[in-house]
Amino acid sequence: MAAEAINQERAVMQRYGARRYQAEAVVSVGAGFAEDPEIKAQLVCAATGTGKTIIFSVLAKIEEAKGGRTLILAHTDELIDQAIDKLFRSTGLKAAKEKAQHYAGRWAKIVVGSVQTLHRTLRLTSWPKNHFTLIIVDEAHRSLAESYQTILQHFMAGGAKVVGVTATPDRGDKRALGEFYQRIAYDYGLRQACRDGWLVRPIVKTMPLSIDLNGVKTKKTADGNDLDRMEVGRRLVPFLGAIAENIKKEAGAKKVLIFMPSVETAQMMADALRAAGVSADWVCGDKKLCPDRTERVERHKAGRFQALVNMAILTEGYDDDSIEIIVCLRATKIRSLYAQIIGRGTRPMGNIVKQLNQASNALERQAIIAASDKPVVTILDFLWLYEKHDLCRPASLVAKDAAVEEQMEESSPAAGDVIDLLEAEERAERDLLQKLEEDLKKNQNKRSEVVDPLAVAADLADIELANYEAMTKRDARPATTEQLRKLLANGVDASKIKNYGHARATLDKIVRRHEAGLCNIRQLNFFTKLGVDASQMSQDEAFARMAEWESKQRTREVSA
C-alpha cells in the first residue's frame, strides 16, 4: 500500500507540477474515501502560502476525470475569482461561476459557487441534490456556519462527498471541525512548511508598550466568540502615537501590514504613522467608507507607500509576498483568524519560487530563502503583556499541541526580546520530552514485554503521539478489536490505548518504521532498557546487536 501511495504521489507531482506535500494531501484524500465507505467528509489543513488552492484544483481535476462534478464553495469575490484562475492555470480546466447574476450551466463539470448566493433556498433547490459528486470548501474553518451547512447537507443527501481546506493551526479549531469532518486527511502546518523550506521563518519582537486588555468582554461574532473589537480599539487609542514611532524604528524601509480592530482605529493608525514620517494608508471592507480600496491595496503592493492599515479585510485570499512586517493589533481569541493574519507575511519573495521548486531538499530551500531579500518575516508584538491565556499569541502558530504552547509561554519574554518561533518550539518540545523520559525512567524496571504507548512515543521522541487527543468524533470512538490485536502483536500494551484515533496513530508509526527498515517496537524497548537510543537503528543492526548482547550474557553466565 505504501509503495502504491508513493507511485500515486509521484504521478500527481509529474502531471500537475504539484509539490510533494501537495501530492501527499491529494493521495491521502483519495485513500480516505476509497478505504472507508463510512467517511463522507475529510479535512485538509495547509498553512497559508503552501498552495491549498493547488491541492483542491487537482482534486477537482481527478474527480472530473472519473466522470464526476465538483462544487467549490467560497465566500468572497477574491476567493471565487482566485479559485477559477488557479484551477485553470494548474489543471487547464475552466470553471463556471455561481454567484448573484452569474448562473453556472448544468453542463459545467466544475462550479465555483458563492456561499452567500447558494444558501438561499430558491437558488439552492434549483440544483438537484445528486448533481455534484464532490464539494470542496475553501476556508473550511467556516464550515460549521448555518449557511455552509445548508448547502453541504443538501448535496450530501444526494451522495456528494466533502473535502474542506483550511489554514487553521490549532487543536481547538480542529476539534470543532471534527464535529463535521470525520477524518483529517492531511495536516501541513506553518512549522513543518518552514522547516521544509517552503515558507519564511517567523520572528517575533516584543515591543516595549504596556497595553492593558484585561477585562475586555467577549462577544459573539460570525466567526465565534471573540474580544469586543470596539473596546479593544478604545484601549489602543492612547498608544497609537507610540506604536507608530516603534513601527518606524523597527521597520526601516520594509513593507508593513497592520491589522486593527475597527475602522476608526485603522484611520487613526494611518494618521499616526504619517505623523511619524511613515507613508501609510488604510482600507476596510465597507465600500461606502472605502470605495477605492482595491486601488489603495494595489498601490501598496506596488510599493507606492510603506504601511497599509486594514480592518476586516486582507485576511483571506490576499497575497503580497513583499510584506516583511506584520503588526496584529486586532486582538483575537480565534486562532484561524490569527493564523490568516500572520500568514500574510510568511510567503517567500516570488522571484525565488522557481528556485525553491527546483531545489532537491529542505536545506537547499532554506538556504535560498536565507539568501533572499526576505529571509524572515517579523511579527511586532505589542500585546505580549496581555495576561489572559486564551488570547491568540505567536506561539500558537507553531506549537504542536497545548502542552508545547504552554511550555513556550513559560519563557516569560522581556520587552525588546527577539524570538525565533521555530527555535522556541524546538526547545519547548525537547524540555517536554525530557520530562517525559525522566518520568518513564523512574519506572524503567517495570517495563514488560508489552510497551506502554507513552513509552513508545518517548522512544520515538514524538510529542504529538505522547499528547494524543482525538480531533474528530470518529477518532474518539473505541479502538477496534483488529486494531488492538495488531498493537498487541507488535508489542504495544493495548490496554493503554485511548481510542480509535490513538490506535490508528500508533499503528501508523509502527507501519512507517517497518517500511523504513527501522527496528520494531520490541527491539526499541529492549535497547531503551539498556540506555541505548535505537530510534533510528535498522532492523538488521538491531538483530545483530541483540544477538551480540545475548552472546555476551551467555559467556558471563558460563564464566560465573
Per the structure, the complete domain to which residue 100 belongs is given by 2-188
Within a domain: residue 155?
yes
Written as one string, the DSSP assignment of 76-133 is: SHHHHHHHHHHHHHHH----EEEBTTB---TT-SEEEEEHHHHTSHHHHHTS-TTS-S
The DSSP code for 310 is E
Q: Which residue has the cell 452567500?
A: 116
Alpha carbon distances (Å) from 357 to 25, 46, 352, 368: 17, 18, 9, 11
Within a domain: residue 502?
yes
Shared-domain flag, residues 65 and 86: yes
Query: Under DSSP, is residue 417 helix (H, G, I), strand (E, B) or coil?
Result: coil
Within a domain: residue 438?
no
Q: Which residue has the cell 491589522?
A: 259
Q: Which residue has the cell 475597527?
A: 262
In the structure grid, which three cell numbers stand for residue 13, read together?
507531482
Alpha carbon distances (Å) from 495 to 452, 480, 502, 505: 9, 12, 12, 15
Check: CB of residue 137 under 8 Å from CB of residue 114: no
Phi, psi of 451 (to 5 degrees): -105, 135
Burial class of residue 122 in the structure, from the number of CB atoms within 10 Å of its CB (0-12 exposed, 13-18 middle, 19+ buried): exposed
Shared-domain flag, residues 103 and 213: no
- CA 115 from chain centre, in angstroms, equals 23
Shared-domain flag, residues 510 and 420: no
Alpha carbon distances (Å) from 432 to 229, 403, 435, 442, 527: 36, 8, 5, 16, 22
In the structure grid, which three cell numbers stand for residue 145, read together?
456556519
Check: CB of residue 317 under 8 Å from CB of residue 76: yes
CA distance 152 to 517: 43
- Residue 321 carries which side chain, given as an amino acid letter? D
Shared-domain flag, residues 354 and 394: yes
pLDDT tens for the chain, 560 residues: list them.
Answer: 566 777 888 888 888 889 999 999 999 999 999 988 999 999 999 998 898 889 989 999 999 999 999 999 988 777 888 888 888 887 888 888 888 888 888 898 999 989 988 888 888 999 999 999 999 998 888 888 899 999 999 999 999 999 999 887 566 666 778 889 999 999 998 999 999 999 999 999 988 888 888 888 888 776 668 888 899 999 999 999 999 999 999 999 999 999 999 999 999 999 999 999 999 999 998 888 999 988 999 999 999 999 999 997 877 768 899 999 999 999 888 887 888 899 999 999 989 999 999 999 999 999 999 999 999 999 999 987 555 546 777 887 888 777 888 788 777 777 788 888 888 888 888 888 888 877 776 665 554 567 888 888 888 888 888 888 888 888 888 989 899 999 988 888 888 899 998 999 999 888 888 888 898 888 888 888 888 888 889 989 989 998 888 888 888 777 76
Within a domain: residue 196?
no
Query: Under DSSP, is residue 447 helix (H, G, I), strand (E, B) or coil?
Result: coil
Shared-domain flag, residues 26 and 165: yes
Check: CB of residue 206 under 8 Å from CB of residue 417: yes
Q: What is the CATH number of the domain that holds 402?
A: 3.40.50.300
> How many Cβ atoms sit within 10 Å of the Cβ of residue 249?
10
Shared-domain flag, residues 356 and 211: yes
Shared-domain flag, residues 361 and 468: no
Query: Quick one: which H or E segment has residue 381?
Result: strand 376-381
> How many Cβ atoms sit within 10 Å of the Cβ of residue 413?
17
pLDDT score, position 447: 47
Within a domain: residue 435?
no
- CA 180 from chain centre, in angstroms, equals 18
Specify the pTM.
0.84
The DSSP code for 538 is B
In the structure grid, which three cell numbers stand for residue 248, read together?
518606524
From the list 474, 506, 469, 470, the residue with the least C-alpha distance to 487 is: 506
Check: CB of residue 204 under 8 Å from CB of residue 383: no
Largest CA distance in the chain: 93
Domain count, the chain: 3
Shared-domain flag, residues 495 and 450: yes
CA distance 438 to 451: 16
Within a domain: residue 86?
yes
Partners of 347 in beta bridges: none
Q: CA gyration radius for the chain?
A: 26
pLDDT score, position 413: 75
Shared-domain flag, residues 183 and 206: no
Domain boundary (135, 167, 188) is at 188
Burial class of residue 291 in the structure, from the number of CB atoms within 10 Å of its CB (0-12 exposed, 13-18 middle, 19+ buried): exposed
Shared-domain flag, residues 421 and 530: no
Within a domain: residue 360?
yes
Q: Which residue has the cell 470518529?
A: 474
- CA 218 from chain centre, in angstroms, equals 25
Query: Under DSSP, is residue 314 helix (H, G, I), strand (E, B) or coil?
Result: coil
Domain boundary (377, 399, 429) is at 429
pLDDT score, position 222: 66
Within a domain: residue 281?
yes
From the list 246, 239, 545, 182, the residue with the least C-alpha distance to 378 is: 246
Domain boundary (188, 211, 234) is at 188
Shared-domain flag, residues 474 and 535: yes
CA atoms within 13 A on the CB side of 120: 9
Please name the residue ranges forming H helices in 142-239.
Answer: 146-156, 171-177, 190-195, 229-236
For the sheet with 134-137, list strands across it: 96-98, 110-114, 70-74, 134-137, 161-166, 41-46, 183-188
CA distance 199 to 205: 19
Shared-domain flag, residues 338 and 372: yes
